[in-house]
Amino acid sequence: MRSCLIQLLLTFAVLFAIAWFGVPLGAGWLATTALNANGFTGTDTRVEVKADLPPRILLGHADSIHLTSTQVGIHDLHAGTIDLTLSEVDLFNRKFATVTGTLTTVTVFAADGKPATIDSVKVNGNSTAAVSTLTISNKEAARLAESQLQDRGIPSKVVLQSPDNVTITAGGHVAHARLQVNDGSLQLVPTGNDLPLLTLIEKGGGNPFALTSVSIGAASVTLVGSLDLQTLLGI
């Protein structure tokens, strides 16, 4: 009788350990599979699924999913690194409520189809409209403007100044413009009639960010917008 009880207890302990430790590992594998099926690629990708009571994962609930990866590609967006925590996750319906985290060295397509590099993106908030703070160097922002002006046959030198002023020198003439966000896109808006209006980063077309504001600092431009990570990740 005693040996049977011990065997029963050992069996229960093994099953408990499998449920407590094995279920999160299995859920992590399933989440990784869902990411890959949605076009996610990356190196050293790690997906950690957590629940206060791990067996609840069997019911499709996780308190959080922590996703890290390097050399990431998600459709037209590419990033050197991502570190995201998804909260209140419905595993069965592949949805989550909120997200917080950081992406670095992010590349999206500019309005002219050429790549634009964003140094970092911090995201926080609703899964379908997370507040996103993008940092792009003044040098990169000026390069985007100069590239588009060059495409229009206007070789120029662009200088950015706080809070939104832009000076363009072309052919010995100096013109002025402002960096503005209109309808989710980043635009260079001339103050006179000497230059055309330029859309530097356009909403959509491979750019998942919907911008709402811009400000120029001493070394970098700060863009604020929103990002639908629920659709982007498809997890």
Tell me what the mean pLDDT of segment 122-147 comes to.
96
Expressed as residue numbers, the domain containing 103 is 1-235
Pairing of β 61-74 and β 115-126: unpaired
3-class secondary-structure state, position 75: coil
pLDDT tens digits, one per residue of 166-182: 999 988 899 999 999 99
Of the candidates 42, 47, 48, the one whose C-alpha atom is nearest the C-alpha of residue 70 is 42
17 CB contacts (<8 Å, ≥6 apart)? none
Q: Which letter, b or e, does each residue of 88-114 get, where b requires 16 or more Cβ atoms within 10 Å of its Cβ?
A: ebebeebebebbbbbbbbbebbbbbee
pLDDT tens digits, one per residue of 45-58: 888 888 775 556 66
pLDDT tens digits, one per residue of 70-107: 999 988 889 999 999 999 988 778 889 999 999 999 99
Mean of per-residue pLDDT scores for the chain: 83
**How far is the CA of 228 from the CAs of 92, 149, 210, in angstroms?**
19, 31, 9
- For residues 178 and 187, is the Cβ–Cβ distance under 8 A? no
pLDDT for res 65: 87
Among the listed ranges 33-42, 123-132, 155-164, 212-221, which one has the minimum average pLDDT value?
Answer: 33-42
Q: Is residue 16 over pLDDT 70?
A: no
- For residues 178 and 228, is the Cβ–Cβ distance under 8 A? no
Q: Is residue 207 over pLDDT 60?
A: yes
Paired tokens of 49 = 């699924």
Find where tokens 């588009």 sit. 148
C-alpha torsion 52→53→59→65, nearest 10: 30
Domain total in the chain: 1
Q: Which neighbouring-strand residues pair with 131? A: 124, 226
Q: Which letter, b or e, does each residue of 30-64 get, where b requires 16 or more Cβ atoms within 10 Å of its Cβ?
A: bbbebbeeeebebeebebbbbbeebeebeeeebbb
- For residues 101 and 82, is the Cβ–Cβ distance under 8 A? yes
pLDDT tens digits, one per residue of 103-119: 999 998 887 888 899 99
Read off the pLDDT band of 32 (50, 70, 90).
Answer: low
The DSSP line for 87-143 is: EEEETTTTEEEEEEEEEEEEEEE-TTSSEEEEEEEEEEEETTSEEEEEEEEHHHHHH
Paired tokens of 73 = 């590609």
- For residues 75 and 232, is the Cβ–Cβ distance under 8 A? yes
Cα(224)–Cα(213) distance, integer angstroms: 5
